[in-house]
Structure 1
Amino acid sequence: MHYPSSALGGLSPAYFGMVMATGVVSIGAWRLGLPKLAWGMFGLNLGIYFLLWLLYVARLVRYPRLFASDLTDHLRGPGFFTMVAASSILGSQCLLLADNVRGSLVLWLVAIVLWLALTYSVFAAFTIKESKPTLDRGINGGWLLAVVATQSIAVLSALLAAHADQPFKLELNFFALSMWLWGGMLYIWMMSLIFYRYTFFPFHPSDLSPPYWINMGAMAISTLAGSLLSINAVDAPFLLSLRPFIKGFTIFYWATGTWWIPMLVVLGVWRYIYKRFPLRYDPLYWGAVFPLGMYATSTFEMANAMGFGFLGLLPNLFFGIALVAWAGTFVGLLHRLIKLVAGRSAWPP
């Protein structure tokens, strides 16, 4: 498929990752006692979210065939799941920062509709399409955005359950638990294929795209959802009976995500220092900022839910790293926009 050089035509399906990254850094700032930073990023995130919706709708109207082609492409299609996660994370911001239950509920419904539409269109298209890429050319860490999208709905459902009365509290907690379990199963399926691709096919620096950090980010948001379910168990008898299972799997998710961090750092050093791959702005880098912020937030929540005070240093450390990464990526975006307006650069597809 030929991509036009216009900014609209070349808009990445994964650009809602910017909302995900900004939202999780904002929530992290709120949890760690930085309300001014949290509110500032919340306001920015609202503007980004609605602007991106305008751009995506305009792209669908202006380039419908291109939009449909992206939706069924093995590498670009999973990027649309950022729309689900962005809606859920923004809904979580509305609930935590503004205590706006109605706004959170609207975004929760938007996320569910998008999740249903994308899950059963993208993966159905991958199944029935006649021309398919080989495994090494058709899968990367971006596939795990489907896991992140699923777990983001589990997180928002658990947060809404804490604000709801019976019987909705019971139903929301059950729905959150179901999505949490489904997201975990989906991670096992996909990660098996990704790890197989890692170890049994040639690997080039260009193959190590930023979404590979979602390997860790998917586990981090699963940890957050499990921690919230563990906290909610106090008001949900059926969760109380499952609490040991929930806690065990939450620690399992956190440990798996933590294992990935040194591995991803080593691969990053190999890519940018040893292989000297150029470091320049790409919208996919928002997919690397999000896992760092989510790891900080999920570790903070797990430590509180389980009394792990010895983990207190990690949330602050990774929040600082996430904030620096967010600022660097945002500066890269501004630089790209300035060059685009000045006519010295074409928007990268």
Structure 2
Amino acid sequence: MRFSSPSFALVMATGIVAIAARQQGWPRLALLLFDSNVVAWLTLSLASMWRLARHRGDVAGDLASLQRAPAFFTAVAGTGVLAGGMLVLDVNFVFACVLGLLALVLWFVLTYAVFAAVITGEDKQPLERAIGGAWLLAVVACQSVAVTAALLSGHFAQPWRLQLNFLALGMWLFAGMLYTWIIALIFYRALFLRFAPADLAPPYWINMGAMAISTLAGAQLVANAAQAPFLEALLPFLKGFTILYWATGTWWLPLLVALTAWRYLVRRDALRAEGLDWSMVFPLGMYSAATHHMDAHVTAGLLAPLDTWFFGLALLAWGATALARTSLWWRGARARAPVPD
């Protein structure tokens, strides 16, 4: 029996909705979501370590698979979002440091392991089967490290403060370049190759989510400008690219809604529980958090109450997905249960 790689998309989605809840003035809901997120992260981490110890061949095969490899980046992003939640919710600074360091190590190991394995792999598939929104998880993973480093920097004295801000800046810039490479392939695939309703998988919402977390990282760098002279010198650049990332993510939103309506209303594709996925919740929550943070440090209240509206949408999507995934798991468990004689 083959065990698939555990996905930390649940941790990503729950963590960012918890952060958005804190921003919107819902501290109890934020802590409730955060506590459940810690349990989810621990459970998925143990499952990942068990799989690595018992099924190394499957892990190696997934690393070289164009369809399954992107799931590894959810471990980085989930760990980074959990670390950021600890800082924003003021839960535990030491654990936040440990998780931030773990996210950086995981990013380094998994980024080079995945790209090296895929590049050298022999099972090359056509572009329409190989590329999708899930590959932008590589961008999300990188930006999660940037956000965590930027948040941690304010808790350290010099020179660590400078070094963490420089790390955050470098990761932010590289992730923007990585998005450019990957989104060009995704856009080409969508425009010029046949696109069936089933091809519009939920991870395509990461087209927007990757830009939303890039906006959040940029806004945090702007907020940190007073801590680092090189950031202060780059303020026009930082603000300009932060708005560029936000505008790009915002551009994707109506198109993704239209394509989703085309799939389920025009082409009459059946809406199943599998269609509700955490990779749709994370971008909505991240868009709310990023818009709130950018409005506080870049656009000075110009975008209110857009962040509040999207927090409501993200919370509804989180609840609907939790119910759908629980129902799906329950039906699967009942189907596997032995039938009594």
Q: TM-score range by the shorter chain?
A: over 0.9
Is the 2:8–2:41 Cα contact (8 Å) retained in structure 1?
yes
Q: Whole-Å Cα distance in 1 between the matches of residues 250 and 158 of structure 2?
A: 36
* Partner residue, 2:256: 264
What is the CA-CA distance between 1:255 and the residue it aligns to? 0.2
Is the 1:89–1:152 Cα contact (8 Å) retained in structure 2?
yes
Instruction: Classify the secondary structure of the residue corresponding to 2:261.
Output: helix
Question: Higher mean Cα deviation, 251-260 or 102-111?
Answer: 102-111
Is the 2:5–2:59 Cα contact (8 Å) retained in structure 1?
no
CA offsets 1:7-50 (integer angstroms, 9 cap, x no match): xx44454x200000000000000011000100000000000000
Q: Whole-Å Cα distance in 1 between the matches of residues 274 and 46 of structure 2?
A: 21
Counterpart residue type for residue 31 of structure 1: Q
The one of 145, 165, 173 aligned to 2:137: 145
Is the 1:209–1:284 Cα contact (8 Å) retained in structure 2?
no
Question: Higher mean Cα deviation, 97-106 or 213-222?
Answer: 97-106
What is the CA-CA distance between 1:293 and the residue it aligns to? 0.2
* Partner residue, 1:177: 169
Instruction: Classify the secondary structure of the residue corresponding to 2:335.
Output: coil
Instruction: Classify the secondary structure of the residue corresponding to 1:115.
Output: helix
The 1:153–1:10 alpha-carbon spacing in structure 2 relative to 1, beyond 3 Å, is same
CA offsets 1:212-268 (integer angstroms, 9 cap, x no match): 000000000000000000010012111100010000000000000000000000100
What is the CA-CA distance between 1:145 and the residue it aligns to? 0.1
The one of 152, 156, 160 aligned to 2:148: 156
* Partner residue, 1:40: 32
* Partner residue, 1:92: 84
What is the CA-CA distance between 1:167 and the residue it aligns to? 0.9
Q: Whole-Å Cα distance in 2 between the matches of residues 328 and 284 of structure 1?
A: 8
Q: Whole-Å Cα distance in 1 between the matches of residues 105 and 275 of structure 2?
A: 25
Is the 2:153–2:164 Cα contact (8 Å) retained in structure 1?
yes
* Partner residue, 1:293: 285
Q: Aligned runs of 1:1-349 on 2, under 5 Å?
A: 4=1, 9-13=2-6, 15-282=7-274, 285-343=277-335
CA offsets 1:154-201 (integer angstroms, 9 cap, x no match): 000000012211111000000000000000000001011110111111
Number of aligned positions between the proteins: 337
Unaligned runs of 5+ residues in structure 1 are none
What is the CA-CA distance between 1:279 and the residue it aligns to? 2.0
The 1:284–1:85 alpha-carbon spacing in structure 2 relative to 1, beyond 3 Å, is farther
RMSD, aligned CA: 1.5
Is the 2:205–2:283 Cα contact (8 Å) retained in structure 1?
yes
Counterpart residue type for residue 250 of structure 1: T
What is the CA-CA distance between 1:334 and the residue it aligns to? 1.2
Instruction: Classify the secondary structure of the residue corresponding to 1:343.
Output: helix
What is the CA-CA distance between 1:74 and the residue it aligns to? 0.3
Q: TM-score when scaled to structure 1?
A: 0.93
Counterpart residue type for residue 45 of structure 1: N
Instruction: Classify the secondary structure of the residue corresponding to 1:277.
Output: coil
Q: Whole-Å Cα distance in 2 between the matches of residues 183 and 232 of structure 1?
A: 19
Q: Percent identity, please.
A: 50
Q: After TM superposition, where is structure 1 displaced by more than 6 Å over at least 4 residues in a row?
A: none
Counterpart residue type for residue 292 of structure 2: F
Is the 1:21–1:326 Cα contact (8 Å) retained in structure 2?
yes
Instruction: Classify the secondary structure of the residue corresponding to 2:167.
Output: helix
The 1:161–1:135 alpha-carbon spacing in structure 2 relative to 1, beyond 3 Å, is same
What is the CA-CA distance between 1:57 and the residue it aligns to? 2.1
Is the 1:216–1:260 Cα contact (8 Å) retained in structure 2?
yes
Is the 2:73–2:107 Cα contact (8 Å) retained in structure 1?
yes
The 1:283–1:108 alpha-carbon spacing in structure 2 relative to 1, beyond 3 Å, is farther
Q: Whole-Å Cα distance in 2 between the matches of residues 65 and 273 of structure 1?
A: 42
Is the 1:285–1:329 Cα contact (8 Å) retained in structure 2?
yes
Instruction: Classify the secondary structure of the residue corresponding to 2:125.
Output: coil
Q: Whole-Å Cα distance in 1 between the matches of residues 237 and 219 of structure 2?
A: 12
Q: Whole-Å Cα distance in 1 between the matches of residues 156 and 43 of structure 2?
A: 31
Q: Whole-Å Cα distance in 1 between the matches of residues 91 and 164 of structure 2?
A: 18
